[in-house]
Amino acid sequence: MGQIISGFGELLLRLTPQEHEDLIVQADALEVGFAGAEANILADLSHWGQATQFISVFPENPLGKKAMMFLNQNGVGTQNISMDKGRMGTYYIEHGTAIRGTHVTYDRKESSFSKWDLSENDWENFLENSSHFVVTGITPALSKNCQKSLLKGLKIAKKINCKTVFDLNFRRSLWSASAAKKSFSDILPYVNILLGNIGSVNDVFDTQIKIQNDFDALTDATKKAIDFVSELGNFETIGMTIRQQINANENVLGGIIKRGERIWSSLSIPTTIKDRLGGGDAFTAGVLHGTIMNWETQKILDFATAAFATTQTIKGDINYLNVKEILSVSEGNLLGHLKR
């Protein structure tokens, strides 16, 4: 088995008003980009020196070609990208400011990816040289086809001793909590590293853990969420993000990791938000990167939390900072000094 990190999911066309905080109804022009949770994770990892590949399908048209270029530019392997005559899913972002939150609108029904049907033989070929397999709760929300294909991939990963990474990533605009709970109950027995946040746990599993918008209270509540999901599988690592939201622009960010019976807590990082998307993906990437590098758990968590926070200061869904820069933030260098 090799050391390639494979991810399976849908890459979306990302459209955003050219003026950063404009609403769609105000916009005269939209900026074009690409993003998707699994692809974001792989791109972050590639920027930090890991070998990655994306498993997906794109439409055989200029959008598909541009998407392929996007992955290549970010160092993500495209050898297992298929092309067909379908359509690419799209999402529109209206960035929040002050008391107005960020809003995402999806247009992804009947996309090429949602109709893609994969066999066990496909998965054996795709994962042949993979050390880790990254998936999220967004993929099974897209179609029954995606649910079946994802489960086949997880079973093959387990068969070949490829470690699996799953971020709950519940999106209530894509499916119901009850449907997600049913699907996740099939997925979690195959998961080695589980990521999420208290919001997803409360929504999907109806845990009704009380949430207060205070960092210490959120930390305590997140520990309860971790204790709850610990009973749902045999996980090597559970990681969760913490977000105290002052307003749409100002957040305090953190994270928690559980391994065995021990829990580690991160530093808290006050962050001015440039782009609300991609932060949780960077946390997942950070946990996986540190794990592969065999760092001590506290270092893994602080790196993942710093990756989470710094991604929110960068336009787009990807963290373009290098490992050294992120480690500097993880060590408490939060003043943003001029570097030259």
Interatomic CA distance for residues 265 and 254, integer angstroms: 8
**Side chain identity at 177, as an amino acid letter?**
A
Q: What is the pLDDT along the chain (340 residues), one digit of tens a residue?
A: 458 999 999 999 999 999 888 999 999 999 999 999 999 999 999 999 999 999 999 999 999 999 999 999 999 999 999 999 899 999 999 999 999 999 999 999 999 999 999 999 999 999 999 999 999 999 999 999 999 999 999 999 999 999 999 999 999 999 999 999 999 999 999 999 999 999 999 999 999 999 999 999 999 999 999 999 999 999 999 999 999 999 999 999 999 999 999 999 998 999 999 999 999 999 999 999 999 999 999 999 999 999 999 999 999 999 999 999 999 999 988 888 877 7
Tell me the residue type at 327: L
Does residue 305 sit within a domain? yes
Number of domains in the chain: 1
Side-chain-facing half-sphere of 96: CA atoms under 13 Å = 19
CATH number, domain containing residue 194: 3.40.1190.20
Residue 116: strand pairing partners = none
81 lies in a domain? Answer: yes
Question: Which residue, among 76, 68, 64, has the nearest Cα to 38 in the 3D structure?
Answer: 76
Integer Cα distance of 51 and 48 in angstroms: 9
Distance of alpha carbon 255 from alpha carbon 304, whole angstroms: 8
Task: State the Cα–Cα distance between residues 60 and 71, nearest whole angstrom.
Answer: 16
Instruction: Tell me the residue range of the domain where 22 lies.
Output: 7-330
Other residues' Cβ atoms within 10 Å of the Cβ of residue 319: 30
Q: Which tokens hold the place of 102?
A: 């960020």
CA–CA distances in Å: residue 33 to residues 55, 127, 184, 206: 19, 28, 30, 35
Q: What are phi and psi of 308, to 5 degrees?
A: -55, -50
- Position 245 in a domain: yes
* 0.95 surpassed by pTM: yes
Task: Specify if 98 maps to a domain.
Answer: yes
**How far apart (Å, rounded) are the C-alpha atoms in residues 84 and 320?**
31
Residue 339 belongs to a domain: no
Q: Distance between CA 159 and CA 65 in Å, rounded?
A: 34
Sign of CA dihedral 105, 243, 134, 201: negative
> Which of 262, 280, 180, 254 shows the shortest CA–CA distance to 226?
262
- The closest of 220, 265, 273, 209 to 245, measured between CA atoms, is 273
- Asked if residue 66 belongs to a domain, the reply is yes
For tokens 């298929």, name the residue.
82
Note whether residue 230 is domain-resident: yes
Note the pLDDT of residue 1.
45
Give the per-residue pLDDT at 3: 87
Q: What pLDDT is attached to residue 340?
A: 74
Determine the Cα–Cα distance for residues 92 and 79; give it in Å rounded to an integer.
28
Q: Is residue 337 part of a domain?
A: no
Q: How far apart are CA 41 and CA 71, in angstroms?
A: 12
